[in-house]
Amino acid sequence: MLDTASLNNILNQPQKIVITTHHKPDGDAMGSSLGLYNYLIQQGHHAKVIAPTDYPEFLWWMPGNEEVIIYTEQTEQSALLIAEADLIFCLDFNALSRINQMGELVRESSAVKVMIDHHLEPEDFDDYRYWNINACATAQLVYSFITDELQRADLINADVATCLYTGIMTDSASFRLPNTTANVHRIVASLMDAGAVNWRIHELVYSNASENRLRFLGYCLSAKLEILTDYNTALIAVTHAELKQYDVNTGDTEGIVNYALSIAGIKLAAFIVERKDLVKLSLRSTGTFPANEICKKYFKGGGHRNAAGGQSELSLEQTIEKFKQILPEYKTLLIQ
């Protein structure tokens, strides 16, 4: 493992840098990546953000977004950049399987690998690690990495601040999850001082829905919501045909699970969606209920205690059945 002084030394010379993040990037994945990107380019580095897959349109406005490369669309160029990189920053993930086929390319690369992340149980593929599961967002860690480790608070300009604010806002569910500490608010205040316009960012991310997204949300809530009263659990499951019917795009399903969790007394909410090749689960929970444990144990996934995800190769119907059959195991936790 490298120490901070050695990493700082490397960063004192212009380097070829790849920044990557988990597949189907969310606000924190893109916010932390572009925040770091906007920081690094000020120092003359040749930096590129490579997203393993596409990501929702409500994130396309962020500064630097026009320079992002999507691996599935520009595979050869991505592979070349990874092979030639001096440094690879891995943000908001800690297992190479989270970046799909890019994982092997990163593993094989001789670049110095830097992990900045807040998920449990990191895999051992990095040379430098800035990792804290108590952080509410990877963007929060990128902020303290720049200000505390690299001592370059002076380079947090409006572009960096705007991206990092977006990451913190989205991963903390608009500053309301328990890990939104007083220190997070102090960081957010300094991002505003540096030029992040809070109300505008909120508007760009959350008031940017298509008519389809809203109608699909309405359909999910009125026709598809199932309450499992005995287990304080709410469930929404949608078929591939329903996605097609509402012309649902990447990102349109994001956040729907939170509506199910917002019902009084509900401790666990699941959004189960039949994608083209597999069934994807999103779980959310309140308090100490370990949503990530269910995802890890039964659905080849993981995540945070209150926000986790996984997948299933069973049919949608069978996946729903499997999910329901798991609940008795957790009954005491769910009804307490």
Which residues sit at the interface with ligand 5GP, rule CB under 6 A?
Answer: 119, 282, 301-304, 307-311
28 lines the binding site for Mn ion (CB under 5 A): yes
162 lines the binding site for Mn ion (CB under 5 A): no
- The nearest distance, CB 258 to ligand 5GP, in angstroms, is 10
User: Which residue of the chain is nearest ligand 5GP when measured via CB?
Assistant: 309
DSSP of 232-292: TEEEEEE-HHHHHHTTPPTTTTTTHHHHHHTSTT--EEEEEEE-SSSEEEEEEE-TT--HH
The partner in contact with residue 138, picked from ligand 5GP, Mn ion, none with C-beta cut-offs of 5 to 8 angstroms by kind, is Mn ion
The partner in contact with residue 303, picked from Mn ion, ligand 5GP, none with C-beta cut-offs of 5 to 8 angstroms by kind, is ligand 5GP
Using the minimum distance from each CB to Mn ion, give the nearer residue, 74 or 181. 181
Are 221 and 259 contacting, i.e. CB atoms less than 8 angstroms apart? yes
The partner in contact with residue 306, picked from ligand 5GP, Mn ion, none with C-beta cut-offs of 5 to 8 angstroms by kind, is none
Are 235 and 323 contacting, i.e. CB atoms less than 8 angstroms apart? yes
140 lines the binding site for Mn ion (CB under 5 A): no
- Separation between Cα atoms, residue 256 and residue 221, nearest integer Å: 9
Q: What is the largest CA-CA distance in the chain?
A: 60
Using the minimum distance from each CB to Mn ion, give the nearer residue, 64 or 167. 167
- Separation between Cα atoms, residue 100 and residue 116, nearest integer Å: 18
Using the minimum distance from each CB to ligand 5GP, give the nearer residue, 189 or 263. 263
DSSP of 200-219: HHHHHHHS---HHHHHHHHH
- The nearest distance, CB 66 to ligand 5GP, in angstroms, is 25
**Positions in the binding site for Mn ion (CB under 5 A):** 28, 92, 138, 171
